[in-house]
Amino acid sequence: MSEPAGADDGLKTSPLHDRHVALGAKFAEFGGWSMPLEYKGGGAVKEHRAVRESVGVFDVSHLGKVVVRGPGAADFVNRCLTNDLDRIAPGQAQYTLCCAEDGGVVDDLIGYLRGDDDVLLIPNAANTAEVARRLSEAGPAGVEVVDRHDDFAVIAVQGPRSDEVLSAAGLPVGHDYMSFVEVERGGVPVVVCRTGYTGERGYELVVPREAAGAVWDALLGAGTGEKPSVVPAGLAARDTLRTEMGYPLHGQDISPSISPVQARLGWAVGWDKPEFWGHEALRAERAAKPARFLRGLVAAGRGIPRPGMNVYVDGEGSVGAVTSGTFSPTRRVGVGLALLDRAVTDGREVAVDVRGRRETFVVTKPPFVTPGSSAS
């Protein structure tokens, strides 16, 4: 049993911390931040179901916010990160990767293209300083890289009824997936992006620190009366939701030793670009084919996979290891991701060593659930 992390143990807290305390949240450490894991009266499974069936509101303010601006800022970012910013226009966002020279993943992040001279990056909490450092060192004269980690809250509204909740809170809805709108709300600028980490329809809001409480209150208050029930959802539910979709988590499924080629994230790499960090190593690995690929696992029995567990095929010994795993609240079975030898492809039956027991799983292409299908 892990001890709850408080505000007095050297961890950073969100601008919404007091509200989480008032809601009876349990806290855990995420990348140096004390963030809500689950809420009193909710719990990971209920909060998970709320997102699949109605709507949940997450505080993900621990995510980084790095501004790259100045003449040629977008071109500069495009020479560093893997995805091709030329595929999107100002007002759109993109999933991309920051790789090391050897092709390992320093971080995965969302880039918001505001204009040729202005890009907002949302890295993971634990990697923000490193991403900012690498960009800052490489930046040409006139392009500045500003780490604004503490200046903004990030609030994710996720679930099939997200639009009703945002509308009731006076925020714009209905824009295309992976596009964003910047609006003034109560005199402060709010970025409203059609993004998320749950697979459901939803939005992520970037809100100046001082306005975070008012926006949070408006979103949660939207659940009264005839409107949909809105619950605060913690990071435990966020993890089961993303695992059901097979979305990778940095530090587990992608890492400095697990490349985007191995993780089958080639779609987030601009292979036609002349350069990006790690391009030579990644092109070579892609041509040679890596020894292992990240694949999905679904339990045939009652086993629940956990990171680090070994995976076996009859007669072949170990063929890899689990990188993420949990109980799927939607399917009510164990699901996970594993790095497996190249020959172990979708449809194969494998055994996972679950603390000494051999449990059967089927290698399955994610997602493990169909978003939007749980609404009742």
Q: Which residues bind another protein (CB under 8 A)?
A: 1-2, 26, 37-38, 43-46, 48, 236, 239-240, 302, 304, 306, 326-327, 329, 355
User: Of 9 and 116, which CB lies nearer to another protein in the complex structure?
Assistant: 9
State the Cα–Cα distance between residues 365 and 272, nearest whole angstrom. 26
Q: How far is the CB of 358 from another protein (least distance, A)?
A: 14
Q: How far is the CB of 144 from another protein (least distance, A)?
A: 39
Q: How far is the CB of 201 from another protein (least distance, A)?
A: 23
State the Cα–Cα distance between residues 302 and 360, nearest whole angstrom. 9
Check residue 121 and report its DSSP letter. E
User: Of 329 and 371, which CB lies nearer to another protein in the complex structure?
Assistant: 329
State the Cα–Cα distance between residues 251 and 263, nearest whole angstrom. 12
Q: How far is the CB of 117 from another protein (least distance, A)?
A: 42
In a 3-state reduction of DSSP, which class is residue 350?
strand
User: Of 4 and 71, which CB lies nearer to another protein in the complex structure?
Assistant: 4
Helix, strand, coil percent values for the chain (each to nearest 5): 25, 35, 45
Q: How far is the CB of 356 from another protein (least distance, A)?
A: 11
User: Of 289 and 355, which CB lies nearer to another protein in the complex structure?
Assistant: 355
User: Of 44 and 192, which CB lies nearer to another protein in the complex structure?
Assistant: 44
b/e burial code for range 252-277 (CB count within 10 A of at least 16 → b): bbbbeebbbbbbbbeebbbeebeebb
The position carrying tokens 């890295």 is 123
**Region at 142 (left for phi over 0; alpha for psi -120 to 50; beta for the rest):** left
User: Of 181 and 300, which CB lies nearer to another protein in the complex structure?
Assistant: 300
Rg (CA), the chain: 21
User: Of 94 and 328, which CB lies nearer to another protein in the complex structure?
Assistant: 328
Q: How far is the CB of 244 from another protein (least distance, A)?
A: 11
**Region at 41 (left for phi over 0; alpha for psi -120 to 50; beta for the rest):** left
Residues 6+ apart with CB under 8 A from 3: none
User: Of 44 and 219, which CB lies nearer to another protein in the complex structure?
Assistant: 44
Which pairing describes strands 152-158 and 26-30: parallel, antiparallel, or unpaired?
unpaired
Q: How far is the CB of 240 from another protein (least distance, A)?
A: 5
Residues 6+ apart with CB under 8 A from 228: 54, 55, 161, 164, 165, 222
Q: How far is the CB of 67 from another protein (least distance, A)?
A: 33
> What are the C-alpha distances in Å from 228 to residues 166, 193, 219, 253?
11, 21, 11, 34
Q: How far is the CB of 200 from another protein (least distance, A)?
A: 18
Q: How far is the CB of 43 from another protein (least distance, A)?
A: 5
User: Of 133 and 302, which CB lies nearer to another protein in the complex structure?
Assistant: 302
CB 361 within 8 A of CB 352: yes
From 276, 268, 267, 266, select the one nearest 76 (Cα to Cα).
276
The position carrying tokens 């993420």 is 324
User: Of 59 and 147, which CB lies nearer to another protein in the complex structure?
Assistant: 59
